[in-house]
Amino acid sequence: MTPKALAAFSLAGRRALVTGASRGIGRALALGLAAAGAAVAVSGRNRAELDKVVTAIADAGGVAVPVVQDVTKPADCRAGVAQVVGALGGLDILVNNAGMEEVRPSLEVDEALWDRILDTNLKGAFFCAQAAAAAMKDAGTGGSILNICSLTSYRGIPTAVPYGSSKTGLLGMTRALAAEWAPLQIRVNAVAPGYFRTELTEAFYHDVSWQEAMLRKVPLGRFGQLDDLTGAAIFLASDAAAYITGQCLGIDGGTLASL
Protein backbone atom coordinates (compact mmCIF):
# COMPACT_ATOMS: atom_id res chain seq x y z
CA MET A 1 0.00 0.00 0.00
CA THR A 2 1.35 3.45 -0.88
CA PRO A 3 1.78 6.04 1.90
CA LYS A 4 -1.00 8.07 0.28
CA ALA A 5 -3.41 5.13 0.39
CA LEU A 6 -2.50 4.49 4.03
CA ALA A 7 -2.99 8.18 4.91
CA ALA A 8 -6.56 7.94 3.60
CA PHE A 9 -7.46 6.03 6.80
CA SER A 10 -6.48 9.01 8.98
CA LEU A 11 -9.17 11.23 10.44
CA ALA A 12 -6.72 14.03 11.31
CA GLY A 13 -8.42 17.39 10.96
CA ARG A 14 -11.94 15.90 10.88
CA ARG A 15 -14.71 16.89 13.27
CA ALA A 16 -17.07 14.13 14.43
CA LEU A 17 -20.27 13.88 16.46
CA VAL A 18 -21.05 10.52 18.06
CA THR A 19 -24.53 10.32 19.58
CA GLY A 20 -25.12 8.06 22.55
CA ALA A 21 -21.43 8.23 23.41
CA SER A 22 -21.76 8.19 27.20
CA ARG A 23 -21.22 4.43 27.36
CA GLY A 24 -21.13 1.17 25.41
CA ILE A 25 -20.68 1.15 21.67
CA GLY A 26 -20.88 4.94 21.26
CA ARG A 27 -18.14 5.48 23.84
CA ALA A 28 -15.91 2.96 22.07
CA LEU A 29 -16.55 4.55 18.67
CA ALA A 30 -15.81 8.03 20.04
CA LEU A 31 -12.50 6.82 21.50
CA GLY A 32 -11.69 5.09 18.21
CA LEU A 33 -12.43 8.10 16.01
CA ALA A 34 -10.38 10.29 18.36
CA ALA A 35 -7.46 7.84 18.23
CA ALA A 36 -7.62 8.08 14.43
CA GLY A 37 -7.18 11.86 14.71
CA ALA A 38 -10.69 13.32 14.74
CA ALA A 39 -11.87 15.94 17.21
CA VAL A 40 -14.97 14.33 18.68
CA ALA A 41 -18.18 15.70 20.17
CA VAL A 42 -19.76 13.10 22.43
CA SER A 43 -23.48 13.39 22.97
CA GLY A 44 -26.13 11.97 25.28
CA ARG A 45 -28.52 13.06 28.00
CA ASN A 46 -26.21 12.68 30.98
CA ARG A 47 -23.57 15.40 31.25
CA ALA A 48 -21.62 13.73 34.06
CA GLU A 49 -21.16 10.53 32.02
CA LEU A 50 -20.20 12.51 28.93
CA ASP A 51 -17.56 14.39 30.91
CA LYS A 52 -15.94 11.06 31.85
CA VAL A 53 -15.67 10.15 28.16
CA VAL A 54 -14.26 13.57 27.32
CA THR A 55 -11.62 13.03 30.01
CA ALA A 56 -10.78 9.53 28.71
CA ILE A 57 -10.27 10.92 25.19
CA ALA A 58 -8.17 13.83 26.49
CA ASP A 59 -6.07 11.45 28.62
CA ALA A 60 -5.33 9.48 25.43
CA GLY A 61 -4.14 12.68 23.74
CA GLY A 62 -7.32 13.43 21.81
CA VAL A 63 -9.74 16.34 21.59
CA ALA A 64 -13.35 15.99 22.73
CA VAL A 65 -16.30 18.13 23.80
CA PRO A 66 -19.56 17.13 25.49
CA VAL A 67 -22.94 17.84 23.91
CA VAL A 68 -26.07 17.29 25.98
CA GLN A 69 -28.98 16.35 23.76
CA ASP A 70 -32.06 14.16 23.70
CA VAL A 71 -32.21 12.85 20.14
CA THR A 72 -35.96 12.18 20.37
CA LYS A 73 -36.37 15.96 20.07
CA PRO A 74 -35.60 17.34 16.58
CA ALA A 75 -34.81 20.76 18.10
CA ASP A 76 -32.16 19.07 20.28
CA CYS A 77 -30.72 17.34 17.20
CA ARG A 78 -30.34 20.71 15.48
CA ALA A 79 -29.00 22.44 18.59
CA GLY A 80 -26.48 19.64 19.12
CA VAL A 81 -25.09 20.00 15.61
CA ALA A 82 -24.97 23.80 16.00
CA GLN A 83 -23.03 23.35 19.24
CA VAL A 84 -20.54 21.02 17.53
CA VAL A 85 -20.03 23.45 14.65
CA GLY A 86 -19.48 26.25 17.17
CA ALA A 87 -17.07 24.27 19.33
CA LEU A 88 -15.10 22.38 16.68
CA GLY A 89 -15.44 24.75 13.69
CA GLY A 90 -17.48 22.35 11.55
CA LEU A 91 -18.78 18.81 11.26
CA ASP A 92 -17.42 16.15 8.91
CA ILE A 93 -18.60 12.90 10.50
CA LEU A 94 -21.85 11.95 12.24
CA VAL A 95 -22.25 8.61 13.97
CA ASN A 96 -25.94 7.95 14.68
CA ASN A 97 -25.46 5.54 17.57
CA ALA A 98 -27.94 6.62 20.28
CA GLY A 99 -30.42 3.84 20.74
CA MET A 100 -32.62 1.94 23.14
CA GLU A 101 -34.43 -1.38 23.33
CA GLU A 102 -37.04 -3.02 25.51
CA VAL A 103 -38.19 -6.49 24.56
CA ARG A 104 -41.90 -7.14 24.97
CA PRO A 105 -44.38 -9.52 23.33
CA SER A 106 -46.01 -7.68 20.44
CA LEU A 107 -49.51 -8.18 21.86
CA GLU A 108 -48.39 -6.12 24.86
CA VAL A 109 -46.62 -3.29 23.04
CA ASP A 110 -48.37 0.00 23.73
CA GLU A 111 -48.09 3.31 21.93
CA ALA A 112 -45.73 4.77 24.53
CA LEU A 113 -43.15 1.98 24.09
CA TRP A 114 -43.49 2.06 20.30
CA ASP A 115 -42.93 5.83 20.27
CA ARG A 116 -40.00 5.71 22.72
CA ILE A 117 -38.10 3.16 20.65
CA LEU A 118 -38.92 4.57 17.22
CA ASP A 119 -38.34 8.18 18.33
CA THR A 120 -34.90 7.32 19.69
CA ASN A 121 -33.62 4.85 17.11
CA LEU A 122 -35.18 6.14 13.90
CA LYS A 123 -36.61 9.64 14.25
CA GLY A 124 -33.58 10.77 16.23
CA ALA A 125 -31.19 9.37 13.66
CA PHE A 126 -33.06 11.12 10.85
CA PHE A 127 -33.11 14.55 12.46
CA CYS A 128 -29.47 14.32 13.53
CA ALA A 129 -28.59 13.33 9.96
CA GLN A 130 -30.67 16.17 8.57
CA ALA A 131 -28.98 18.75 10.82
CA ALA A 132 -25.54 17.33 10.09
CA ALA A 133 -26.12 17.26 6.33
CA ALA A 134 -27.32 20.88 6.40
CA ALA A 135 -24.07 21.90 8.12
CA MET A 136 -22.00 19.81 5.68
CA LYS A 137 -23.87 21.32 2.73
CA ASP A 138 -23.26 24.87 4.02
CA ALA A 139 -19.54 24.10 4.40
CA GLY A 140 -19.46 22.54 0.92
CA THR A 141 -16.93 19.94 1.98
CA GLY A 142 -19.08 16.79 2.01
CA GLY A 143 -19.03 14.41 4.91
CA SER A 144 -19.73 10.95 6.23
CA ILE A 145 -22.69 9.63 8.21
CA LEU A 146 -22.61 6.24 9.88
CA ASN A 147 -25.80 4.67 11.22
CA ILE A 148 -25.67 1.88 13.78
CA CYS A 149 -28.04 -0.78 12.53
CA SER A 150 -28.44 -4.32 13.90
CA LEU A 151 -29.02 -7.96 13.04
CA THR A 152 -32.68 -6.99 13.39
CA SER A 153 -32.27 -4.78 10.32
CA TYR A 154 -32.21 -8.08 8.41
CA ARG A 155 -33.85 -10.73 10.57
CA GLY A 156 -37.15 -10.95 12.43
CA ILE A 157 -36.55 -11.38 16.17
CA PRO A 158 -39.63 -12.22 18.29
CA THR A 159 -40.50 -9.69 21.05
CA ALA A 160 -38.25 -7.09 19.42
CA VAL A 161 -40.72 -5.73 16.89
CA PRO A 162 -40.51 -1.98 17.62
CA TYR A 163 -36.71 -2.26 17.82
CA GLY A 164 -36.51 -4.37 14.65
CA SER A 165 -38.82 -1.95 12.87
CA SER A 166 -36.63 0.97 13.89
CA LYS A 167 -33.43 -0.76 12.76
CA THR A 168 -34.94 -2.00 9.48
CA GLY A 169 -36.10 1.57 8.91
CA LEU A 170 -32.63 2.84 9.71
CA LEU A 171 -31.16 0.58 7.03
CA GLY A 172 -33.70 1.85 4.50
CA MET A 173 -32.92 5.41 5.55
CA THR A 174 -29.21 4.75 5.09
CA ARG A 175 -29.75 3.69 1.48
CA ALA A 176 -32.20 6.47 0.61
CA LEU A 177 -30.13 9.26 2.16
CA ALA A 178 -27.01 7.87 0.48
CA ALA A 179 -28.74 8.24 -2.88
CA GLU A 180 -30.19 11.66 -2.07
CA TRP A 181 -27.07 13.25 -0.63
CA ALA A 182 -24.46 11.74 -2.94
CA PRO A 183 -24.51 14.91 -5.08
CA LEU A 184 -23.44 16.78 -1.91
CA GLN A 185 -20.56 14.32 -1.47
CA ILE A 186 -22.14 13.21 1.80
CA ARG A 187 -21.72 9.46 2.16
CA VAL A 188 -24.19 7.53 4.31
CA ASN A 189 -23.28 4.05 5.48
CA ALA A 190 -24.14 1.71 8.34
CA VAL A 191 -22.75 -1.08 10.43
CA ALA A 192 -24.81 -3.93 11.85
CA PRO A 193 -23.21 -5.15 15.08
CA GLY A 194 -23.94 -8.70 16.19
CA TYR A 195 -23.90 -9.56 19.90
CA PHE A 196 -22.06 -7.04 22.11
CA ARG A 197 -22.39 -6.99 25.88
CA THR A 198 -23.41 -3.48 26.96
CA GLU A 199 -25.94 -1.91 29.29
CA LEU A 200 -28.50 -2.33 26.50
CA THR A 201 -28.05 -6.10 26.31
CA GLU A 202 -26.68 -6.86 29.79
CA ALA A 203 -29.83 -8.59 31.06
CA PHE A 204 -29.66 -11.24 28.30
CA TYR A 205 -26.12 -12.21 29.30
CA HIS A 206 -27.28 -13.18 32.80
CA ASP A 207 -28.94 -16.21 31.20
CA VAL A 208 -26.27 -18.82 30.46
CA SER A 209 -28.57 -20.84 28.20
CA TRP A 210 -29.22 -17.66 26.14
CA GLN A 211 -25.47 -17.15 25.84
CA GLU A 212 -24.96 -20.72 24.65
CA ALA A 213 -27.78 -20.47 22.12
CA MET A 214 -26.49 -17.16 20.74
CA LEU A 215 -22.91 -18.37 20.51
CA ARG A 216 -24.07 -21.24 18.33
CA LYS A 217 -25.19 -18.57 15.84
CA VAL A 218 -21.73 -16.94 15.68
CA PRO A 219 -19.37 -18.80 13.33
CA LEU A 220 -16.31 -17.07 14.83
CA GLY A 221 -17.35 -18.56 18.17
CA ARG A 222 -17.31 -15.52 20.45
CA PHE A 223 -19.32 -12.43 21.30
CA GLY A 224 -18.14 -9.09 19.92
CA GLN A 225 -15.67 -6.91 21.79
CA LEU A 226 -16.26 -3.16 21.49
CA ASP A 227 -12.90 -2.74 19.75
CA ASP A 228 -14.19 -5.02 16.98
CA LEU A 229 -16.37 -2.10 15.88
CA THR A 230 -13.88 0.74 15.79
CA GLY A 231 -11.83 -0.24 12.73
CA ALA A 232 -14.93 -0.44 10.54
CA ALA A 233 -16.22 2.89 11.84
CA ILE A 234 -12.89 4.61 11.20
CA PHE A 235 -12.69 3.08 7.73
CA LEU A 236 -16.23 4.07 6.71
CA ALA A 237 -15.77 7.59 8.06
CA SER A 238 -12.44 8.06 6.29
CA ASP A 239 -11.35 8.85 2.75
CA ALA A 240 -10.35 5.20 2.42
CA ALA A 241 -14.10 4.64 1.92
CA ALA A 242 -14.50 7.63 -0.42
CA TYR A 243 -16.33 5.53 -3.04
CA ILE A 244 -18.53 3.62 -0.58
CA THR A 245 -22.03 4.87 0.21
CA GLY A 246 -25.37 3.23 0.98
CA GLN A 247 -23.72 0.12 2.43
CA CYS A 248 -24.20 -1.72 5.71
CA LEU A 249 -21.30 -3.77 7.03
CA GLY A 250 -22.13 -6.63 9.37
CA ILE A 251 -19.74 -6.83 12.34
CA ASP A 252 -21.06 -10.03 13.77
CA GLY A 253 -18.50 -12.82 13.61
CA GLY A 254 -20.26 -14.21 10.54
CA THR A 255 -23.74 -14.42 12.07
CA LEU A 256 -25.74 -12.82 9.25
CA ALA A 257 -23.88 -14.80 6.63
CA SER A 258 -24.75 -18.08 8.27
CA LEU A 259 -28.30 -17.61 9.64
3 state DSSP class of 39: strand
Sheet holding 15-18, edge to edge: 63-68, 39-44, 15-18, 93-96, 143-148, 186-193, 248-251
196 forms part of the interface with ligand NDP (CB under 6 A): yes
Exposed/middle/buried for residue 12 (C-beta within 10 Å: 0-12, 13-18, 19+): exposed
Q: Which of 199, 212, 243, 257 binds ligand NDP (CB under 6 A)?
A: 199
Integer CA distances (angstroms), 191 to 4, 23, 77, 99, 235, in order: 26, 18, 21, 14, 11
Amino acid identity for residue 16 in this structure: A
Catalytic residue among 154, 163, 195, 205: 163
Closest distance to ligand NDP from the beta carbon of 242 (Å) = 25
Q: Which stretch binds ligand NDP (CB under 6 A): 87-95, 129-137, 194-202, 238-246?
A: 194-202
Closest distance to ligand NDP from the beta carbon of 82 (Å) = 16
Q: Which stretch binds ligand NDP (CB under 6 A): 1-9, 182-190, 199-207, 242-250?
A: 199-207
Closest distance to ligand NDP from the beta carbon of 173 (Å) = 13
Closest distance to ligand NDP from the beta carbon of 131 (Å) = 14
Q: Which of 45, 137, 175, 217 binds ligand NDP (CB under 6 A)?
A: 45
- What sections of the chain are H helices per DSSP? 3-7, 24-35, 47-59, 74-88, 111-118, 124-139, 161-181, 202-205, 208-215, 227-237, 255-258
Choice between 137 and 155, CB closer to ligand NDP: 155
* 163 in active site: yes
Choice between 8 and 218, CB closer to ligand NDP: 218
Phi/psi-derived region of residue 98, left when phi > 0, alpha when psi is between -120 and 50, beta in every other case: beta
Closest CA to 40 of 9, 12, 64, 59: 64
Q: Which of 44, 162, 164, 169 binds ligand NDP (CB under 6 A)?
A: 44
Please answer whether residues 143 and 86 qualify as being in contact, where contact means their C-beta atoms are separated by less than 8 angstroms: no
∠ CA 168-34-93, rounded to 5°: 45
Interatomic CA distance for residues 53 and 25, integer angstroms: 12
Q: Binding-site residue total for ligand NDP (CB under 6 A)? A: 31
Closest distance to ligand NDP from the beta carbon of 107 (Å) = 23
225 forms part of the interface with ligand NDP (CB under 6 A): no
The upper half-sphere exposure of residue 57, i.e. CA atoms within 13 Å in the direction of its Cβ, equals: 32
Q: Which of 14, 16, 17, 26 binds ligand NDP (CB under 6 A)?
A: 26
Q: Which stretch binds ligand NDP (CB under 6 A): 82-90, 95-103, 133-141, 241-249?
A: 95-103
3 state DSSP class of 108: helix
Choice between 19 and 168, CB closer to ligand NDP: 19
Write out the catalytic residue numbers. Answer: 163
Contacts with ligand NDP, residue ranges (CB under 6 A): 19-26, 44-46, 49, 69-72, 97-101, 120, 148, 150, 193, 195-196, 198-201
